[in-house]
Amino acid sequence: MSDRVIPLVDQRLRGLVARVPEQAIAANGLLGDTLGRPLRDLRISVTDRCNFRCNYCMPKSIFDKDYQYLPHSELLSFEEITRIARQFVAHGVQKIRLTGGEPLLRKHLEILIEQLSSLRTAEGKPLDITLTTNGSLLRKKAAALKAAGLNRVTVSLDGLDDTVFRAMNDVDFPVADVLGGIAAAREAGLGSIKVNMVVKRGTNEDQILPMARHFKGTGVTLRFIEYMDVGATNGWRMDEVLPSAEVVQRIHAELPLVQLDPSAPGETAERWGYADGSGEIGVISSVTQAFCRDCNRARLSTEGKLYLCLFASQGHDLRALVRGQASDEQLASAVAHIWQKRDDRYSELRASLPPDASSGGRRVEMSYIGG
C-alpha cells in the first residue's frame, strides 16, 4: 500500500490584496455576487486554537505540541472585528456566527458579543448572533454569553457513546461534560439550540440512532453533517462519506419523519420533522447534494482575511485596510468589490474536478475559518 501524502500550505501566509475600487460602492443592503446571491450571513473565526483534536478537522498528527498558532498581535482585536462587521451589516448581513477553532478559548469573548449585539441592520433590527462550540467550556460560560447578547448556540457532538466520542475528539474528553454544557445553555435561556454531528462512515455511523433517540422531544435540533473534504490535513476520502439520504432512511425506519420547508433562504440544512410532532432533525449534504446556488455566507478569518467559500484556497486581506487607516467608506467599498466578483460554487463542481483538485490539497483548513 502506498503512503498517503498530505501537502501542507500555511494559509495564514497567503492572501489576496483587498483593493479599494476607484469609485465608491454605496452600501444599500442589496449586495449580490455574479450569480445573484445576496450577502446575508457572516461567519467570524475568533481563534485558530482548539482544545480538541478531531481527526476530521485538527488531527493530532499535524496540530501537535509544536504547531505554531497565530501570535495574539496577528489576531483581529474585538474593536477591529466589530468595525469590519459593521460594514458587512450595511451590505445586508443579518446573522453573525462566531466560530474558531474553539471560540470559547478566546478570552473575554463576551465583550465582542456585547459589541456585535449593538449593531443594527438598515431596517433597525438587531442581528441574529450565534456561536458554534465543541461544548467543553459551555457549562461555565453559557450564562455570561446570554447576558452579553448571544441569541443561539450550536454544539458539535459526534456521538453519545463515551468511547466513540473520546476517540473522535482524541483528547479523551467525556461526552457527559458536553451534555452538561448543552443543559447549561438551555438553563441560561439560549434559544433554538442545535447539535451538529459529523458522520464518518466506519467511525461513528452507529451513533446516528442513539443521538436521534436522545434528542427527540427535547427541543434541541440535531443535525447530521456529511464528512467534508475541507482543507488538506484530514485525509478525506469519498468512501468515508455517509450520504444524508441514508441517514434519513435509517432514522425514518424507527422514528418516522416528514419533510419540512426550509426555515430561511440559503438554509444549509434540509429539515425533517418527527411524524408525531416531537421535534425535528436536519441534514447538511454539501458533498452529495450541493447547495451552492443559495449560499449567502462570507467568512472572516482570525487575522482578518475574507473567504468567499468554505473550500477556498485564498482570502482577501481586510486587516491590511483596517490597520492601514482606510476609512469606513473605503472598507465597505472593498467588501462590496470582492463580493460582487464572487463566483464560488465548489461543491457543485466537485464531481467534474480532476482527482488532484478534488482531494483538497491546497484548500484552507476548517479550523482556520470555521465550519
What are the average pLDDT values for consecutive 10-residue runs of the chain, which has 371 residues?
41 76 93 96 96 88 91 96 98 96 97 98 95 97 98 96 92 97 97 93 93 97 84 61 94 98 81 97 84 90 94 91 96 97 83 50 67 62
With contact defined as beta carbons under 8 Å apart, do 71 and 303 qualify? no
Helix orientation angle between 175-188 and 162-169, rounded to the nearest 10 degrees: 90
pLDDT at 311: 80
Cell of 164: 466513540
pLDDT at 162 (0 to 100): 95
Instruction: Record the pTM.
Output: 0.89
Which CA distances in Å does 357 have to 236, 289, 316, 362, 367?
13, 19, 21, 8, 20
The CA-based angle 67-308-328, given to 5 degrees, is: 100
Polymer length in residues for the chain: 371
**Grid coordinates given for 47:** 481563534
Question: How far, in Å, CA of 135 to CA of 352, rounded?
Answer: 37
- Give the integer Cα–Cα distance in Å for 95 and 310: 17
Q: Detail the residues annotated as belonging to a binding site for S-adenosyl-L-methionine.
A: 56, 101, 156, 228
Question: Which amino acid, 284?
Answer: I
Residue 304: count of CB within 10 angstroms of its CB: 23
Residue 155: partners with Cβ closer than 8 Å, 6 or more residues away: 132, 133, 134, 135, 138, 178, 181, 182, 185, 193, 194, 195, 196
Return the pLDDT at 8: 40
User: Can you name the residues that pair with 96 across neighbouring β-strands?
Assistant: 42, 129
- CA dist 132 and 190 (Å) reads 13
Residue 314 parent element (H or E): none
Cα(113)–Cα(108) distance, integer angstroms:
9
* Coil, strand or helix at 347: helix
Picking from 51, 53, 42, 41, the residue whose alpha carbon sits closest to that of residue 76 is: 42
**Binding-site residue positions:** 43, 50, 54, 56-57, 97, 101, 132, 156, 194, 228, 292, 295, 297-299, 309
Q: At a CB cut-off of 8 Å and minimum separation 6, what does 127 contact?
A: 89, 93, 94, 95, 96, 116, 117, 119, 120, 121
C-alpha cell at position 355: 482527482
Return binding residues for GTP: 43, 97, 132, 194, 297-299
- pLDDT at position 98: 98
